[in-house]
Amino acid sequence: MTNDKIPLAGVIGQPITQSKSPVVHAHWLRRYGIRGHYIPMDVSSVDLPHVLNNLPRMGFRGVNITIPHKESVLDIADVISDRAALIGAANTLTFQSDGKLHADNTDGLGFIANLKQEAPGWNPQAGPALVLGAGGASRAVVAALLHERVPEIILTNRTRARADALKAHFGGKIKVVDWTQAASHLDETATLVNTTALGMTGKEELKLNLGRLTSDTLVTDIVYNPLTTPLLAQAEARGCQTVDGLGMLLHQAVPGFERWFGRAPEVDAELRNAVLR
C-alpha cells in the first residue's frame, strides 16, 4: 500500500443501503478536514474474499463489515483480536502494512463507551445486569459486560437454548432464566439491557412487566429507531436513568476511523443530529 493515495474505507454488507456508517464517517471526514472517502459496498458472500483481497491496492485502509458477513469474515482474516474471537464475529477490518487482514469487533466497546458517556455515574459492578436476548448483539454486550466485571449476568431469551449456548460459551457468571420469568428479576437488576429488536419501528413491542423495576436501575436499549423505545419511555416514567442505542452505533465506529484516517473522532450532539437527519 502506498501512502500517497487518498485514504479510503467503507462498509461491506448485503444489503447495504440501510447502513448509517457512511453518514458517520462522512461527518467526521468533513469535520476534521481529512481528504478521504468512506464508501458503502454491496458484496455477496461468494465475492467477499476476492473483494477484500483487492481493496488494499486501491487505497483502502480498512472496512466495516455488517450483516450477513460478520461471522464468516473470521474465516478470511489473518489476525483476529481477542474480543472478535470471543464474540465470534467482526465488524472492523484493517488492512495491515504487512499485508495481513486484521479483524476486530468494536460493538461491545461501543456499548460500554455509550453508557460511560451518557451515564457517567454508571457502575457496571454495582449489581447484576439483566440482558434480554441471546443473538449476535447479545454476544457482544455480554462479552463487554463481563470485561467490565459485572458481578452477574441474568440472561433471558425467548428461545432458551440460545441463552444456554451463550452461557456455555461465556461461563460461570451467567445465570439463564426463562423469558417468562425475566420480570421477576428486575428488583435485583442494576443494569437492564434490551438486545432484541423488539420495540424497533415496525416490530412488536417488548412486553415486560416493569412492576419490579426500581429507580436505581440503569436501562438501555440497543434499538435506536425510535430513539425512545417503549421500554425506555416506561423506565423513564418509573424514574430510571435511560440511555438510547444510537450512541452504541456511533462509538463502535470510533476505532475504525482512528485506525484508517489517523484521528480519534468525537461522538457528540452534532454527530447524533447528522445521523438522525
Binding-site residues for NADP(+) sit at 82, 133-137, 157-162, 222, 245
Residue 202 CA to residue 264 CA, distance in Å, equals 35
On whether the CB atoms of residues 238 and 215 are closer than 8 A, the answer is yes
Judged by the rule CB under 6 A, the positions of this chain that interact with ligand ATR are 133-138, 157-159, 162, 195-198, 204
Residue 213 CA to residue 227 CA, distance in Å, equals 21
**70 belongs to the catalytic site:** yes
C-alpha cell of residue 273: 443530529
Sign for the pseudo-dihedral over CA of 233, 118, 249, 71: negative
Give ∠ CA 239-180-177 in degrees, rounded to 5.
90
Give ∠ CA 94-88-124 in degrees, rounded to 5.
95
Given the residues 5, 70, 100, 207, select the one marked as catalytic: 70
Q: Which residues are annotated as a binding site for shikimate?
A: 19-21, 66, 91, 107, 224, 252
Q: Which is nearer to ligand ATR, 29 or 182 (CB)?
A: 182
CB atoms inside a 10 Å sphere around CB 39: 16
On whether the CB atoms of residues 241 and 91 are closer than 8 A, the answer is no
Taking only Cα atoms into account, the Rg of the chain, rounded to an integer number of angstroms, comes to 19
Q: Which is nearer to ligand ATR, 8 or 143 (CB)?
A: 143
Which residue's Cβ has the minimum distance to ligand ATR?
135
| 111: helix, strand or coil | helix
Closest distance to ligand ATR from the beta carbon of 272 (Å): 21
Closest distance to ligand ATR from the beta carbon of 134 (Å): 5
First to last CA, the chain: 36
Question: Which residue numbers are catalytic?
Answer: 70
